[in-house]
Amino acid sequence: MPPRKIIHVDMDAFYASVEQRDNPELRGKPVIVGSPPTERGVVAAASYEARKFGVRSALPSVTAGRLGPTGIFIRPRMEQYRAESEQIMAILAETGADVERTSIDEAYLDVLRILAETSDADTALNNAVPIARGLKERIRRERNLSATVGIASNKLLAKIASDFKKPDGLTVIPEREKAAFLRPISVRAIPGVGRVTEQVLLGANIKTIADVQDYTGDLRVLVGSFGPVLRNAAFGEDERVLELGDEVKSVSSEETFGHDTDDRRVLRQSLRSQAEDVATRLKKRHLGARTVQVKIRYGDFTTLTRQFSVEEPITEAGDIYRLGCFMLARERLVNRPLRLIGLGVSALTESVNMQLTMKDVL
């Protein structure tokens, strides 16, 4: 089988960069996308200037305000970011490569079928460099944004390569040098190594990928069945193929209130708005959902979720709203003021209308 050529494209500080592009006065300044520190909320994104202060995604806005007192808070414009993402993904698709979109601001490309065949893995990777450079140049010229790119023989290495030199970088991990390249990198860079697993590994004095490569014991004793996967990844082995298409596993919407509330009118209005948002997004993708989930968070940050499944897919906002209200009442979840409420759907499939349409055509 010819050696694979995987390109990972990762937009640089995407939300914040869009805001800096659209408002030149923000360029070079610490931009924090999220609710202001005077309101309850979290950081959605931070520019590189803000990250120097330790501001990062998912931080409470009040904490971000303390870390970066000169930060400029901008409320998220998700529709604008989604629209920008579509423009960028279209540029990637025009290469003719197979594309796996993994989030709003990153994607993998397998360029194997659009380049001349070669039996030498490193030659194959070098042949992919002009495509990567062309993508970076087009994104900068047409969208006035920067992207960092990684090139390697598999998804694991391509992702690590794109994280290696940000922002606006381009890194190739040669196939013959992949094990050596990985050695100084933190073990947290390996997919599946979260905080809990990292603590277990640190207990065995395993801090870097080099420590995994050099470990002479049985990693299964430390991390169970993940052990063989961890060892293979440490040597740069990854057999995952690109997941093509634009599959969505769930759709959700939620609201954090400025003040805890148990006002039924406020809660009902919030749920109606969320149901409309979810239904609109389902219909755009011709999807229906068999499971509806309601999520609530109390003032002490206790978070609960409940879900209810139906046999036939639903698409209408009214159905989603009613199921949400049903679960809230059934579980008596509004027994004290809420900090957050949300609705989501999963178990997605083609909507009934789409199925009927396709059947009629056939």
Phi, psi dihedral angles at 188 (to 5 degrees):
-65, -15
pLDDT of residue 180: 96
pLDDT of residue 236: 95
Token duo for residue 362:
């056939």
| Domain 183-234 architecture | Orthogonal Bundle (1.10)
Q: How far is residue 320's CA from residue 328's CA, in Å, rounded to a whole number?
A: 13
Residues 263-298 have pLDDT tens digits of 999 999 999 999 998 988 887 776 788 788 999 999
Between the alpha carbon of residue 221 and those of residues 148, 226, 333, the distances in Å are 37, 10, 42
pLDDT of residue 106: 87
Q: How far is residue 251's CA from residue 286's CA, in Å, rounded to a whole number?
A: 13
pLDDT of residue 12: 94
Q: Spell out the residues 6+ positions from residue 223 whose beta carbon is closer than 8 angstroms to its own.
A: 197, 200, 201, 230
Q: How far is residue 115's CA from residue 135's CA, in Å, rounded to a whole number?
A: 15
**Which parts of the chain have pLDDT scores under 50?**
352-362
Listed residue (32, 53, 50, 52) closest to 41, CA to CA: 32
pLDDT of residue 184: 95
pLDDT of residue 362: 30
Indicate the DSSP class of residue 339: E
Q: Where are the domains of the chain?
A: 6-13+79-177, 20-76, 183-234, 251-356
Answer whether CATH 3.30.460.80 is correct for domain 6-13+79-177.
Answer: no
pLDDT of residue 21: 97
Return the active site residues.
106
pLDDT of residue 197: 82
pLDDT of residue 356: 33
Q: How far is residue 325's CA from residue 131's CA, in Å, rounded to a whole number?
A: 51
DSSP, collapsed to helix, strand or coil, labels residue 229 as: helix
Residues 38-90 have pLDDT tens digits of 887 778 889 999 999 999 877 788 899 999 999 999 998 888 998 999 999 99
In CATH, the number for domain 251-356 is 3.30.1490.100
Listed residue (326, 344, 346) closest to 334, CA to CA: 326
Fold of the 20-76 domain: MutS, DNA mismatch repair protein, domain I (3.40.1170)
pLDDT of residue 119: 62
pLDDT of residue 239: 85
pLDDT of residue 275: 93
Listed residue (277, 285, 353) closest to 314, CA to CA: 353
Q: What is the pTM of this model?
A: 0.71
Between the alpha carbon of residue 264 and those of residues 328, 330, 337, the distances in Å are 11, 15, 10
At position 189, the amino acid (one-letter code) is A
